Amino acid sequence: MRADQTDVLKRLSYIEGHLNGVRKMIEADQYCVDVLRQTYAVRKAIEKMEALILEQHLHTCVPEGIKEGREDAVINELMQLYNLAGNR
Amino acid sequence: MRADQTDVLKRLSYIEGHLNGVRKMIEADQYCVDVLRQTYAVRKAIEKMEALILEQHLHTCVPEGIKEGREDAVINELMQLYNLAGNR
Amino acid sequence: MRADQTDVLKRLSYIEGHLNGVRKMIEADQYCVDVLRQTYAVRKAIEKMEALILEQHLHTCVPEGIKEGREDAVINELMQLYNLAGNR
Amino acid sequence: MRADQTDVLKRLSYIEGHLNGVRKMIEADQYCVDVLRQTYAVRKAIEKMEALILEQHLHTCVPEGIKEGREDAVINELMQLYNLAGNR
């Protein structure tokens, strides 16, 4: 397992734990505003994990693809990700 | 347990399952673009759960608070949520 | 004109000026990354103006509507805004 | 002027006109919810213009930079844009 994959999985474990906390709050019928504050934090943690994955992708697959002549495919994929990331 | 709470928990279970799928993809070292597509879908599912929780909040606590004279506290809380939701 | 409306218009003037700067950058064929940094700043300024308008709405029309028995209409409108604001 | 720059400027003119409509609505003291619907539409139009500028950047400067050995600088810039775009 690569070092960066370990880092991604560590963040994922944190997110799973956080989401489990959200479940307990909902089951205990806690104040909805407090639940929402936690779900926003979970989304933010997912976004940080995504940034890490994207950064790896940009440093490995993208330059490889461009050097191998698959430039259009690589760029189109990046634009798709960008639009998906922003709900666009 | 209220009917709407059951609906929120159902969505949460779906999100947990989806996130577990993301874990398996990362552990199997799958293509990062495919992983990102799934994490974006997870975030979108969380946003839908949040909209449900917020809607309940607006239909219950907000009108109650306003009728009981806690208008400023209720509005400030809503503004905080709005800003948090948009990473503002 | 109300004091808060003056504040909104002041922010709008700032946004228009900022956008005019973006136009000059594009016409001068400046580096696209620099242009994007400015358009992101414009969007952020619009979001701040929106937060101001929303806050006024929450402090005036929403409590009025709830006290006058138009609770459902007021809440549905808020949910529509929330979903629009997040591109949801 | 390049064809793609013309397209970007056409979108910018549309955005400026749209924003001018927002100004008239605010000056005429129109319903805040209607104003917000329009400002959200303006932001969405800016996002579409950004996507166009980014796509040009990915098709020109990025592959050039990578082929010229400035890979790290190009990638870091992309990550900055990604984080800025999402208010991250």
Reported ipTM: the value is: 0.89
- Residues with pLDDT less than 70, chain A: 1-3, 87-88
The residue assigned the tokens 């984080």 is D83
Residues A31-51 pLDDT 10s: 999 999 999 999 999 999 999
Structural domain including B43 reads 3-85
- pLDDT at position A2, please? 63
Helix pair C3-27, C32-59: axis angle to 10 deg: 170
Q: Report yes or no: B59 at the C interface, CB cutoff 8 Å.
A: yes
- pLDDT at position D87, please? 66
Best residue of A16, A29, A35, A39 to probe chain B, by most B CBs closer than 10 Å: A39
- pLDDT mean across residues, chain D: 91
Candidates D10, D6, D11, D8; CA nearest to D54 is D8
Mean pLDDT of D51-56: 93
- pLDDT mean across residues, chain C: 91
CA distance C85 to D41: 9
Subunits adjacent to chain A (3 or more Cβ pairs under 8 Å)? B, C, D
Please report residues of A whose CB lies closer than 8 A to that of B49.
39
CA distance D78 to D88: 13
For chain D, percent of residues with pLDDT exceeding 90: 74
Q: Residue type at D8? A: V
Tell me the count of A-C CB pairs closer than 8 A.
Answer: 5
Count: domains in chain C: 1
Nearest residue on chain B to D83, alpha-carbon basis: B87
Judge if pTM exceeds 0.95: no
- Helix (H) / strand (E) element for A48: namely helix A32-59
Mean pLDDT of C48-52: 94
Q: Could you read off the pLDDT tens digit of each residue along chain B, which spans 88 residues?
A: 466 889 999 999 999 999 999 999 999 999 999 999 999 999 999 999 999 999 999 999 888 998 898 989 999 999 999 888 876 6
Residue with the larger pLDDT of the pair B83 and C22: C22
Q: Residue type at D27? A: E
Mean pLDDT of C60-88: 87
Q: With bands split at pLDDT 50, 70 and 90, how would you rate the model's confidence at C87?
A: low
- pLDDT at position B66, please? 87
Candidates D15, D13, D88; CA nearest to D46 is D15
By the 8 A CB rule, do B71 and C47 touch? no
Nearest residue on chain D to A44, alpha-carbon basis: D88
**CATH number, domain at D36?**
1.20.58.1000
| Long-range contacts formed by D60-69: CB under 8 A, 24+ apart | D61/C31, D61/C32, D61/C33, D62/A66, D62/A75, D63/A66, D63/A71, D63/A75, D66/A62, D66/A63, D66/A66, D66/A67, D67/A66, D67/A67
Q: Report yes or no: B75 at the C interface, CB cutoff 8 Å.
A: yes
- pLDDT at position A67, please? 86
Span of B37-46, C8-17, C76-85 with lowest mean pLDDT: C76-85
Contacts of D21 (CB under 8 A, 6+ apart): D38
Residue with the larger pLDDT of the pair B1 and D11: D11
CB-based contact C51 B85, cutoff 8 Å: no
- pLDDT at position B2, please? 63
Residues D26-38 pLDDT 10s: 999 999 999 999 9
Please report residues of C whose CB lies closer than 8 A to that of B78.
58
CB-based contact A56 B26, cutoff 8 Å: no
